[in-house]
Amino acid sequence: MSVAAQPLTEDDGPLSVWWLRTILIVMVLGFAGLLAITQKAYTNAPPIPAQVVDAQGATLFTGADISDGQAVFLKYGLMANGSIWGHGAYLGPDYSAAALHRMGQDAANAIALQQYQKPMTELSLSQQAAVRAETAVTLKTNRYDAASGTLQLTAAETAAYRQQIPYWTDYFRHPERNAGLKKGLIEDPIELHQFTAFVTWAAWVSVANRPGENYSYTNNFPYDPSVGNLPTGDAVFWSAMSLIVLLVGIAAVLLAFGKFDYLGWISHDKHVHPQVLPGRSSAGQNALLKFFVVVALLFLAQTLVGGAVAHYRADPGSFYGFQLETIFPSNLMRTWHLQLAIFWIATAYVAAALFLARTLSKEEPGWFAWGAHTLFAAFVLVIGGSLLGEWLGISQLLGQWWFWVGNQGWEYLELGRIWQYLLVIALFGWFVMLWRLLRTETLVEPSAKPLVKMFMLAALAIPVFYIPALFFGAKTNFTVVDTWRFWIVHLWVEGFFEFFATTVVALTFYQLGLTRRNVALRVIYLDAILYFGGGLIGTGHHWYFTGHTSFNMALAAMISVLEVVPLTLLTLDAWDFVRTTKGECDICNKRVTVPHKWTFYFLMAVGFWNFVGAGVFGFLVNLPIVSYYEVGTQITATHAHSALMGVFGMLAIALMVFVLRQTTDEAHWPGIEKYIKVAFWGTNVGLAMMILMSLFPSGVFQFWDVIQHGYWHARSLEFIGSERALIIEWLRLPGDLVFIFLGAVPLVIASIKGYLGMRTANKEMAVVGA
């Protein structure tokens, strides 16, 4: 199972200490900036008034109502239906934008009646223009008194607020008009009052000028000219500056690649003949194979649920004649869609890491097999328990335990708090297993120690940087929560998962004999420098419009654009990957048997989708001025699907294929390989069809509608239910079918055949041994 010993060369000596020093400098500076932004989230977060009163001083609602309303929003899984300040799901409206626009309409009508004794629709054009200007001034004026904690609304604003409760009461009654929520989801008058208080506060935060500034707490998001919300100068200026930084960054890295020709994945100065041969897996490695059966089943479940979510957007009134929302409402489907994606990808990484670690260890410890069984049981408990809890929580069957056992309600972090604690414990247990396997005295190749150290640091970061998910509750200020939430969504997933993935690929290449140790180390070091150089402070590009100040916008816009730089380098290694799969040694020009052809194909897919999803679409949404108009539209969904599935998903499948090949002998592999081949083309072609035929065109159409009519309109049923929008939504169906039946289903068949084949081989060996 180990790499055959090769003669030492200069490339096996120690690397310059400045690699690690540079990584340390980048991370210190990056975390310093990120922590500064995070600290400012606490001090600059939009205030929650102790009480909100009308012009006569009568209380309309309190700060407790706002906080309780946020809990209602989460308890009923509404972040998996719509969004607040652009963050959440895209099935329903952006609640803050919808409330703000209705507030503007109702306030304008109240002003029209007060000044002209006529409703807005009966005024002349000049009178309407005057009323709109007066409405914008009224809403933009911040009447919050920090000393007393009192927010006073004008008569027009009070009249607008009173119209909100009947509007939202009616919204929750009709599944066909709310994207498939359970009929009569919220009917309790107290909860409706609290929910309305929360969305009214979110709308006020969106429009009222931050003290001392001429823009709102959310930097004038959402775009709605009728209430005076227009893009700020900061959004335009820092977008332009970030383009300069991007060009300089790309030029600097391409210069480095031109000067140092030893950068890149594949070693060309050595005989390339894979040394880790398939069909020779140990008992402990075989115990890990069941993880990948679960991975494939979860992947299939996620695709089916994703299809249901897409159907809710295209036809929320019925599911081919069946009222699906009575059992599986859209917010539950959307919650499961995200959680299943995280679970199957993370499970693949965890199992593959243990499998690779075993190849580096001299011999298998006695605890390894039962440790794998225990970890498997823990993952099944967390995955199954949390998914069931989310169903029960959204169905309101858990009472006060909804937050702890059911559905917390925060997008990407929906699983109940108890399941989060168990997940962290399981991940730390996984790390302990890796550490015990990879102690220096247990390594087959002591020279691999530097690679192992980076692998272990990356593995440790996985449980450590999930811990911020435990830092907030259901009633914590939304701005503060969204700050910590993206420590997970961006920093954990796009940062440390990316770093961990790089170390896993490097170890795989090293074990296959395709690269020397120092070549792999340079790639890990360079990726760490580039990813963390842009990715740490770059987390702030998610916070442009969630209650942070322009300080975050300036810093995040300038730095986050550097996240694109390492992705452009993927194209430089593309031909190396193609040539390697063709199986020819650069030195001896002899035919090479490459047993992991399809692993390489999926790794090439990772590179392609990384460039397209994280590079092209990621760059687009990073620019503040673009993000201002597009956040929460289908362009964001385009980026999310092509990056999450295309990068992390394809890598997870690549690792699955690697393990399946390693645990299958030559005689049985052809029966599995044919399904892997179909799955490769099915997943990639299906994903491309989804994006090109539906997601991206839908996003462009929606982006244009934001510019033409305002953000609220592009997120409304009026737009999503329009004829052209529905045609584009239905065009997603062919891609979904290809992805499910030619992508996910063949992977399930391949994983089951691999698992059953392993068990059959073990039984045959036991009979021979007896």
Contact 611, 567 (CB under 8 A): yes
- What is the predicted pLDDT for the residue at 637? 95
d(CA 343, CA 130) in angstroms, rounded, equals 54
Backbone φ and ψ for 452, nearest 5 degrees, come out as -65, -40
- Give Cβ neighbours of residue 175 (< 8 Å, ≥ 6 apart): 181, 182, 183, 316, 317, 323, 325, 329
- What is the predicted pLDDT for the residue at 6? 43
**128-142, 513-527, 528-542, 638-652: which has the minimum mean pLDDT?**
513-527
Tokens 């969630």 locate to: 546
Closest-CA residue to 96 (of 85, 80, 111, 81):
85
- The fraction of the chain above a pLDDT of 70, given in percent, is 91
d(CA 67, CA 362) in angstroms, rounded, equals 56
When pLDDT is cut at 50, 70 and 90, the band that residue 7 belongs to is very low
- What is the predicted pLDDT for the residue at 566? 66
d(CA 549, CA 551) in angstroms, rounded, equals 5
- Give Cβ neighbours of residue 343 (< 8 Å, ≥ 6 apart): 298, 383
- What is the predicted pLDDT for the residue at 371? 95
Across 5-74, the runs of DSSP E, i.e. the strands, are: 51-53, 59-62
When pLDDT is cut at 50, 70 and 90, the band that residue 578 belongs to is low
Task: Give tens-digit pLDDT for 412-462.
Answer: 999 999 999 999 999 999 999 999 999 877 787 888 888 899 999 999 999
- What is the predicted pLDDT for the residue at 765? 66
Look at residue 357 and tell me whether its pLDDT is greater than 80: yes
Token code pair at residue 527: 């990726």
- What is the predicted pLDDT for the residue at 1? 39
Mean pLDDT of the chain: 89
d(CA 585, CA 270) in angstroms, rounded, equals 9
What is the CB neighbour count within 10 angstroms for residue 650?
25
Q: Is the four-CA dihedral 525, 530, 533, 538 of positive or negative sign? A: negative
Look at residue 546 and tell me whether its pLDDT is greater than 90: yes
- What is the predicted pLDDT for the residue at 676? 97
Look at residue 269 and tell me whether its pLDDT is greater than 60: no
